[in-house]
Each structure stands twice: as structure tokens, then as C-alpha cells.
């Protein structure tokens, strides 16, 4: 492909993959991360109250997403979507999660100290309580256009603020 400008948009664990392919992308103009998984959150999770409280409130975000799906799709499509999600979730258990974490930690990404190159602006969209974490992260750099934007009330910010995120992408593409 011969795209003139490429913007990588990644959410959660997708940030790890984006980080690893960034040097292979030609004409990379910017990186936008929606709470991209960083080394600190996996290897040394912050123990501040806001982090511990947030983990308790996952049912709120699940209800929000459930409602959004039923708002966006027909009832039949929404039920199928939700049932598929629940079925996929049922395949995983705590032991599977531990295997995934162990495999993930063997990846070189977790052990190097690379940061995103200063020549590419990085925009991090995150809940307010995580801003300091991302300032320390491998994603944030010294590019004058890089910034951390506080937004959202749970990890799936793109479900809460799709239009605002689209506006960020559009402004970067100009």
C-alpha cells in the first residue's frame, strides 16, 4: 500500500502490537492509543486507590456496553452479538488467563526499555486517574504534538466517546 499518511489507532493490548510494528509502517504520521496496555500495568500494576476501585466497577462498564449494543443494532443482531460474546468469555477461566499472562510476559516487549520515537506524535486517550501512568509509559514521548487526553469513565472509552475519537483522528489526518 502507498498511503500518504498512516495513523495507527490501538486499544488495550493492541497497543503492544502497534508498538512492535511501528518501525515497519511507512509514512506513519501519528499513534493514537486508547488506554494501550503498557509495561507498568502488567509488570508492576499501580496500587493506588483509584486503580483498585476501578477493578471493582467492571459490571458498570459491562452494562453500558450491553445497552449500547442494544441501542445500535436490531434486537436479533444485538442478542446474537451479546450471546456470542458471553459464549467466547465462557471459554476462558482463571487458569487460561494465567497461561496467557505467562506467555505474554515472555515477549521481548516487556523486557526492553524502548519508547515511542519522538519524531511521531503520540496521542493517549485515557481515564483521568491513569494520566500519570501514561506520562511514564513507553507510548508517551517528547514530540511537541504528543498529548494525553483524559476522557471516559471506563476502559472501553471508544464506546462512550466515538465521535470525539473520530474528531481526533480527523484532525490528525489533515
pLDDT at res. 172: 95
Listed by start position, the domains of the chain span: 6-173
Q: Which pTM was predicted?
A: 0.85
Per-residue pLDDT of 1-32, as tens digits, reads: 678 899 999 999 999 999 999 999 999 999 99
Specify the 3-state DSSP secondary structure of 43: helix
CATH of region 6-173: 3.40.50.1820
Distance CA 145, CA 151 (A): 18
136 Cβ neighbours under 8 A, 6+ residues apart:
40
Per-residue pLDDT of 103-144, as tens digits, reads: 777 777 888 889 999 999 999 999 999 999 999 999 999 999
> Which among 9, 2, 4 has a CA at the least distance from the CA of 31?
9
Amino acid at each position: 500500500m502507498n498511503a500518504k499518511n498512516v495513523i495507527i489507532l490501538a486499544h488495550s493490548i493492541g497497543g503492544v502490537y502497534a508498538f512492535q510494528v511501528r518501525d515497519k509502517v511507512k509514512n506513519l504520521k501519528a499513534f493514537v492509543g486508547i488506554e494501550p496496555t503498557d509495561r507498568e500495568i502488567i509488570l508492576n500494576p499501580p496500587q493506588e486507590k483509584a486503580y483498585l476501585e476501578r477493578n471493582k466497577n467492571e459490571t458498570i462498564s459491562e452494562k453500558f456496553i450491553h445497552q449500547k449494543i442494544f441501542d445500535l443494532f436490531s434486537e436479533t443482531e444485538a442478542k446474537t452479538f451479546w450471546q456470542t460474546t458471553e459464549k467466547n468469555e465462557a471459554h476462558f477461566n482463571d487458569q487460561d488467563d494465567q497461561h496467557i499472562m505467562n506467555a505474554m510476559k515472555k515477549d521481548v516487549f516487556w523486557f526492553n526499555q524502548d519508547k515511542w520515537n519522538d519524531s511521531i506524535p503520540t496521542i493517549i486517550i485515557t481515564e483521568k486517574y491513569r494520566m500519570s501512568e501514561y506520562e511514564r509509559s513507553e507510548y508517551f514521548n517528547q514530540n511537541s504534538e504528543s498529548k494525553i487526553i483524559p476522557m471516559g469513565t471506563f476502559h472501553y472509552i471508544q464506546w462512550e466517546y466515538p465521535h470525539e475519537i473520530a474528531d481526533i483522528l480527523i484532525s490528525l489526518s489533515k
